[in-house]
Amino acid sequence: MLVERGVGGNVELVSEAYAIAANYLRRSGAIRDTLVTDERLLEIVIKLLQHGEFNKIRLANKAIARFEAQSEAKAVA
């Protein structure tokens, strides 16, 4: 699935960054506490990677910030 999205050899990096971000967002109540992948969060992580972010902690933190910003924008609209 990740290879299809153009992640290539960075599957482990995306997986780790996603896990960090998803864990935080689950604990904060922003996403459900399930084993199902949140597609919106995964897309954010992949886009950040494609734009040159390769540090997993920064990748996770930026993904969290974007996810929360998008959620707030949807709540206002």
Does 14 score more than 90 pLDDT? Answer: yes
- Higher pLDDT pick, 9 / 5: 9
Q: Give me the count of residues in the chain.
A: 77
CA-based nearest residue to 38, from 48, 47, 27, 25: 25
- In this prediction, residue 55 carries a pLDDT of 96
- In this prediction, residue 73 carries a pLDDT of 87
Per-domain boundaries in the chain:
3-76
- The model's pLDDT over 45-67, given as tens digits with 9 standing for 90+, comes to 999 999 999 999 999 999 999 99
- How high is the mean pLDDT of the chain? 90
- In this prediction, residue 76 carries a pLDDT of 83
